[in-house]
């Protein structure tokens, strides 16, 4: 990737810029969470054998001294090696850093307005490997556990499949509320064990950039559905997330048949995690993927963001007001998507 230019807002053409922050959105928290997203890439670069260093995290401009970090838990993912794998044979599996969980406390006298004195952050990393690019491309419907609605199969697989590609046992819900029933080594199992191990209910903020943003949506809903006793509130802030809800309609003769419903998933998600916020750079290609409608003969595949409008089951809803748009054109596809060079400076400017 080329060196990215300095961050600078530029005239926005694609949509009207966000005039004001949405209700419930906390700029200081968004700044902290973007820092966490950036650190997931540092975690990947350093590898699992290097202790996770979160000492640079800040919630105020006064520096990191106002934060106490405890219960730091790295998450990992087991992936099939690709043609350019650095270690192991093609087709073998390697274990890579996937993000982390941490309990954050603000020292007495430094509590930032509208932020909890103590809270949990779960941060998930974006695409870095060949196997993850393959998951990104599998934009076909998959049911979210045994619930109504369907999602992007590649993202779901990344979240629920365990060590060496072993899925959950036959007949068991991949997001079963009992952590031990989930596929061992899966991100879903690690998150379940971490959250269920909290000693008291705390506000939980789930975040991620790119692929990590998509997984953050699944993770936030998983926690809200299955571990609400361990969370006093669940919020989701993602950066540069692709579309997560994916459904399909097949027409046989003149009869349309649903093959998974993206709208049913949106209804479920927005009812469970209304405090969800998407931060979107208008010059970034990733948030417009996969396309909203893809036609393959008689099969139509539809995709949507978790904040999109829906009309399902006789009711309707939307979290469209929970999207922050900005434009900082860099002239480079990779730089326009960069967490460190574009998304982090943008939310920093809001604080």
Total residue count of the chain as it appears in this document: 351
- Tens of pLDDT along 276-302? 999 999 999 999 999 998 887 778 889
Q: Where are the domains of the chain?
A: 27-129+154-241+273-287+317-350
Question: Can you state the angle between helices 130-137 and 211-226, rounded to 10 degrees?
Answer: 70
Q: Rounded distance, CA 209 to CA 43, Å?
A: 14
pLDDT, tens digit (0-9, with 9 covering 90-100), for 152-175: 999 999 999 999 999 998 889 999
Please, what is the end-to-end C-alpha distance for the chain in angstroms? 28
How far apart CA 126 and CA 112 sit, in angstroms, is 28
d(CA 309, CA 293): 15
Closest CA to 39 of 62, 58, 23: 58
Positions in the chain short of pLDDT 50: 1, 85
Q: Which residues pair with 118 in a beta bridge?
A: 105
49 — phi, psi (to 5°)? -80, -10
Question: Rounded distance, CA 217 to CA 221, Å?
Answer: 6
Vertex 313: Cα angle to 310 and 317 (nearest 5): 30
Picking from 244, 246, 303, 317, the residue whose alpha carbon sits closest to that of residue 278 is 244
Inter-residue contact 251 to 298 (CB < 8 Å): yes
Q: Where does residue 54 rank: exposed (0-12), middle (13-18), buried (19+ CB within 10 A)? A: buried
pLDDT at residue 287, as a whole number: 97
Kindly report whether the global pTM for this prediction surpasses the value 0.85: yes
Q: Which residue has the tokens 């993927």?
A: 289
């Amino acid at each position: 990737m080329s060196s990215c230019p300095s961050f600078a807002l530029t005239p926005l053409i694609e949509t009207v810029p966000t005039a004001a922050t949405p209700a419930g959105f906390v700029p200081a928290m968004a700044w902290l969470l973007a820092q966490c997203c950036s650190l997931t890439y540092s975690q990947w670069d350093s590898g699992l054998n290097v202790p996770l260093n979160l000492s640079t995290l800040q919630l105020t401009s006064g520096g990191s001294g106002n934060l106490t970090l405890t219960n730091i838990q790295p998450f990992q993912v087991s992936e099939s090696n690709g043609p350019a794998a650095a270690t192991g044979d093609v087709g073998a599996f390697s274990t890579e850093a996937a993000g982390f969980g941490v309990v954050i406390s603000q020292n007495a006298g430094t509590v930032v307005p509208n932020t909890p004195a103590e809270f949990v952050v779960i941060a998930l990393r974006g695409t870095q490997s060949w196997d993850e690019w393959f998951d990104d491309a599998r934009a076909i419907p998959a049911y979210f556990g045994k619930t109504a609605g369907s999602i992007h199969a590649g993202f779901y697989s990344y979240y629920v499949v365990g060590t060496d590609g072993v899925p959950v046992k036959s007949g068991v819900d991949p997001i079963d509320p009992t952590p031990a029933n989930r596929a061992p080594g899966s991100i879903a199992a690690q998150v379940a064990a971490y959250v269920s191990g909290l000693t008291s209910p705390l506000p939980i903020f789930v975040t991620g950039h790119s692929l990590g943003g998509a997984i953050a949506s699944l993770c936030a809903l998983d926690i809200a559905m299955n571990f609400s006793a361990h969370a006093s509130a669940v919020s989701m802030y993602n950066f540069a997330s692709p579309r997560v809800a994916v459904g399909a309609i097949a027409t046989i003769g003149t009869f349309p048949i649903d093959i998974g419903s993206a709208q049913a998933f949106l209804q479920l998600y927005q009812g469970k995690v209304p405090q969800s916020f998407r931060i979107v750079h208008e010059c970034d290609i990733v948030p417009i993927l996969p396309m909203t409608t893809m036609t393959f003969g008689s099969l139509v595949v539809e995709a949507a963001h978790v904040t999109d409008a829906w009309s399902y089951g006789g009711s309707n809803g939307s979290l469209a007001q929970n999207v922050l748009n900005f434009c900082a054109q860099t002239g480079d596809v990779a730089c326009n998507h960069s967490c460190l060079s574009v998304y982090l400076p943008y939310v920093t400017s809001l604080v």
